Structure 1
Amino acid sequence: MASRAITLDGVRVRPSDIADLASHGEVAVRADPSGLDRAAAAHRAAQEIARHRPVYGRTTGVGANRTEDVAAADGDTHGLRLLRSHAGGIGPYVPADQVRAMLAVRANQILAGGAGLQPAFAEALVQALGSGHLPRVHEVGAIGTGDLTALAETGLTLIGERPWTGGRGAPPAPVTLEPGDALAFISSSALTIGQAALAWARIAASLRAANVVAALSLHAVDGGSEPYDAEVHAGRPHPGIAEVAAEMRRLLGGPRRGGRVQDPFGYRCFPQVHGPAVEAVARVERVLEIEVNAAAENPLIRAAGGGSVHHHGGFHQATLALALDHLRVALLQSAQLSAARLATLVEPAFTGLRPFLADGAPAASGVMILEYSANSALADLRGVAQPAALGHAVLSRGVEEHAGFAAQSARQTLRAAESYRLVLACELVAAVRAVRQRAHPAEAAKPGRAASGSVASGSAASGSVRSGCPVPDPATPVGAAFAAVASQLDPRTEDRPLSADVERAVALLDALATV
Structure 2
Amino acid sequence: MIQLTGNDLDARALARIAAGAPVALDEAALARVAENRAVIQRILDEGRTVYGINTGFGQFATVVIPPSQLAQLQLNLVRSHAAGVGEPLPQDQTRALMAARINCLLKAHSGIRPEPIRLLAECLNRGVLPVVPSQGSVGASGDLAPLAHMALLLVGEGLAWEGDRHVPGGEALARAGLTPITLEPKEGLALINGTQLITALGNLAAARLMDLIPLADEVAALSLEALRGTRAPYDPRIHKARPHPGQIEVAARMLEILGPTSEIAESHRDCHRVQDAYSLRCIPQVHGVARDALRFAGEILQRELNSATDNPMIFTDTQESRSGGNFHGQYPAFACDLLAIAACDLASISERRQERLVNPAYSDLPAFLTREGGLESGFMMAHVTSAALVSEMKLLAHPACVDTIPTSAGKEDHVSMGPIAARKLWKAVDALEQVLALEARMALEGVRILGMAPAEGLRPLLERLDRACPPWHDRPMYAEISGTADALREHVRQSLA
- Note the C-alpha offset of 1:163: 4.3
Matched, 1:130 2:139: no
Equivalent residue, structure 2, for 1:299: 312
8 Å CA contact retained: 1:212, 1:512: no
Instruction: Report the CA distance between 1:497 and its aligned residue.
Output: 1.8
Which residue in 1 is equivalent to 2:398? 386
Distance 1:337 1:359 in 2: 26
Any residues of structure 2 matched to 1:305-316 within 5 Å, and which? 305=318, 307-316=319-328
- Residue number among 77, 99, 106 corresponding to 1:111 in the alignment: 106
SS of 1:487's partner is: helix
Query: Which residue of structure 2 lines up, in the alignment, with residue 371 of structure 1?
Result: 383
TM-score, normalised with respect to structure 1: 0.89
Kept in 2, the 8 Å contact 1:209–1:510? The answer is no
8 Å CA contact retained: 2:206, 2:298: yes
1:14-163 matches, cutoff 5 A = 14-22=10-18, 24-25=19-20, 27-52=21-46, 53-145=48-140, 146-163=142-159
Residue 246 in 1 paired to residue 242 in 2?
no
The correspondence for 2:470, drawn from 445, 465, 490, is 490
Tell me the SS of whatever aligns to 1:301: strand
Deviation of the 1:242 alpha carbon? 1.1
Q: CA deviation at 1:361?
A: 5.6
Q: CA deviation at 1:166?
A: 2.6
The alignment status of 1:227 with 2:227, answered yes or no, reads: no
Matched residue type, 2:464: A
The one-letter code matched in structure 2 to 1:49 is I
* Corresponding residue for residue 290 of structure 1: 303
The 1-side partners of 2:437 and 2:260 are apart by 26
Contact 1:39 1:113 in 2 (8 A): yes
Per-residue deviation, 1:227: 1.0
Asked if structure 1 preserves the Cα contact closer than 8 Å seen for 2:313 and 2:323, the reply is: yes
Matched, 1:471 2:467: no
Distance 1:119 1:490 in 2: 57
Kindly indicate whether the alpha-carbon contact (under 8 Å) linking 1:164 and 1:171 is maintained by their aligned counterparts in 2: no
Are residue 12 (structure 1) and residue 43 (structure 2) matched? no
Specify the code of the residue in structure 1 equivalent to 2:150. T
Q: Taking structure 1 as reference, are residues 362 and 401 closer, same or farther at Cα in structure 2, changes over 3 Å only? A: closer
- Cα offset, 1:362, TM superposition: 4.3
Separation in structure 2 between the aligned mates of residue 419 and residue 201 of structure 1, nearest angstrom: 15
Aligned to 1:480: 460
In terms of mean alpha carbon deviation, does 98-107 or 395-404 score higher?
395-404
Structure 2 portions without partners, runs of 5+: 164-171
Between the aligned partners of 1:111 and 1:490, the Cα distance in structure 2 is 52
Unaligned runs of 5+ in 1: 440-469
Shift of 1:50: 3.8
Equivalent AA in structure 2 for residue 479 of structure 1:
R
| Distance 1:399-1:234 versus aligned 2 partners, 3 A rule | same
* Alignment-mate amino acid for residue 278 of structure 1: R
Partner of 1:396: 408
By how many angstroms is 1:143 displaced?
0.7
Q: C-alpha separation between the residues in 1 aligned to 2:365 and 2:250?
A: 29
1:134-283 matches, within 5 Å, as 134-145=129-140, 146-166=142-162, 170=176, 172-254=178-260, 259=271, 260-283=273-296
CA distance in 2, matches of 1:352, 1:405: 48
- Between the two proteins, the alignment pairs up a number of residues equal to 475
Q: C-alpha distance in 2, partners of 1:255/1:56?
A: 68
State the 1:49 CA deviation. 2.6
CA shift at 1:202, angstroms? 1.6
Residue matched to 1:504: 483
Greater CA drift, 260-269 or 345-354 = 345-354
**In 2 relative to 1, CA 345–267 (structure 1 residues): closer, same or farther, beyond 3 Å?**
same
Bigger mean CA offset, 164-173 vs 197-206? 164-173
Q: What do the CA deviations read for 1:440-494 (whole angstroms, capped 9, x no partner)? A: xxxxxxxxxxxxxxxxxxxxxxxxxxxxxx2224xx3212221222122132x22
* Partner amino acid, structure 2, of 1:294: S
Contact conserved, 1:8 with 1:30, CA < 8 A, in 2?
Answer: yes
The alpha-carbon distance between structure 1 residues 271 and 80, as it changes in their structure 2 partners (threshold 3 A), is: same
Query: What residue number does 1:426 align with?
Result: 438
Q: After the TM superposition, which of the residue ranges 156-165 and 57-66 deviates more from structure 2?
A: 156-165
User: What is the CA–CA distance in structure 2 between the aligned matches of 1:194 and 1:172, rounded to whole Å?
Assistant: 25
Q: Is the 8 A contact 1:345 1:356 kept in 2?
A: yes
Contact 2:367–2:373 (Cα < 8 Å) also in 1? no
How far, CA to CA, are the matches of 2:470 and 2:417 in structure 1?
43
TM-score by length of 2: 0.92
Q: Are 2:298 and 2:335, in contact at CA under 8 Å, matched by a contact in 1?
A: no
Match of 1:456 in 2: none
Label 1:234 to 1:255 Cα distance change in 2 as closer, same or farther (>3 A).
farther
Contact 2:377 2:474 in 1 (8 A): yes
Percent identity of paired positions between Structure 1 and Structure 2: 34
Partner of 1:450: none
Matched to 1:182, the amino acid is G
2:29 touches 2:106 (CA, 8 Å); kept in 1? yes
Q: In 2 relative to 1, CA 261–485 (structure 1 residues): closer, same or farther, beyond 3 Å?
A: same
Aligned amino acid, residue 380 of structure 1: E
Q: Deviation string for 1:260-291 (max 9, x for gaps)?
A: 32111111011111111111111221012111
Q: State which drifts further: 327-336 or 253-262.
A: 253-262
Contact 1:107 1:121 in 2 (8 A): no
Q: Specify the alignment match of 1:465 in structure 2.
A: none
- Quick one: distance in 1 between partners of 2:475 and 2:157? 54
